[in-house]
Amino acid sequence: MIPPTGDTAMTAPSSRRTAARLGAAVLAVVVALLVPASPAWAHNSLKSATPARDATVPLAPTEVTLEFMQRLDPTFTTIVLTDAARRKLATGAPVVTGAKSTVQVTDTLPNGTYTVAYRVVSADGHPVQGSYPFTVADPASSAAPVADAGTSAATPSAVAAVPTDGGPGAGVLVAGAALAALVVVAAGLLWRRAARR
């Protein structure tokens, strides 16, 4: 039996090493895709609010405070307060501290339902918007509540509509899946080549 030449003997282990490396790369990509997205990839969202969503408060609030999951960009933070007739109420400019934003309510709110609408931009540049209602029910108030002008309180026009998208997380997953498929195909071809030799 003729022993393998130096070139043949070197090629088989080299091909196996390459296939093993590609297999490790495939495993790393699969693990990265299965692990949930890190907080840096997650979009910002409202964590808490005062007054709270759908709350009925016995005293008219003098300020509205919104706290988000991530730090806000003060330049692009908008909070709008409207009454049941969808009229915009006077408030101070939003004051941003980290993930919190507060506006002072300059008018006394009579009993009734109000809507807080917000549009903020996270530190990562992703815009987030939303709205929620709350109700003032002060038993000592003699002011008549504002009549509702519609069946539902829409987000005020002062808060511009923001198109929703898949976000950076979706793009990363698609690119990762494509890369994993390419690596699997390349690893299979190299493994088959190594097995034939």
Indicate if the pLDDT at residue 18 is higher than 60.
Answer: yes
Kindly report the CATH number assigned to the domain that includes residue 97: 2.60.40.1220
Strand partners, 136: 57, 112
Report yes or no on 107 lying in a domain: yes
Residues 47-85 have pLDDT tens digits of 999 999 999 999 999 999 999 999 999 999 999 999 999
**Shared domain check, 90 and 16:** no
Per-residue pLDDT band for 43 (boundaries 50, 70, 90) equals confident
Question: Do 138 and 183 belong together in one domain?
Answer: no
User: CA distances (Å), 79 to each of 68, 110, 123, in order?
Assistant: 13, 20, 17
Rounded to two decimals, what is the model's pTM?
A: 0.57
Residues 120 and 154 in one domain: yes
Q: What is the widest separation between alpha-carbon atoms in the chain?
A: 108
Same domain as 136, residue 105: yes
Token output for 77: 């933070």
Give the whole-angstrom CA distance, residue 186 versus residue 85. Answer: 64
Under a CB-based contact definition with an 8 Å cutoff, are residues 98 and 67 in contact?
no
The domain in which residue 17 lies consists of 6-35+168-196
Q: Are residues 30 and 90 in the same domain?
A: no
Is residue 18 within 8 A of residue 101, CB to CB? The reply is no
Q: Is residue 40 part of a domain?
A: no
Q: What is the pLDDT of residues 92-113, one digit of tens each?
A: 999 999 999 999 999 899 999 9
Q: Count up the domains in the chain and report the number.
A: 2
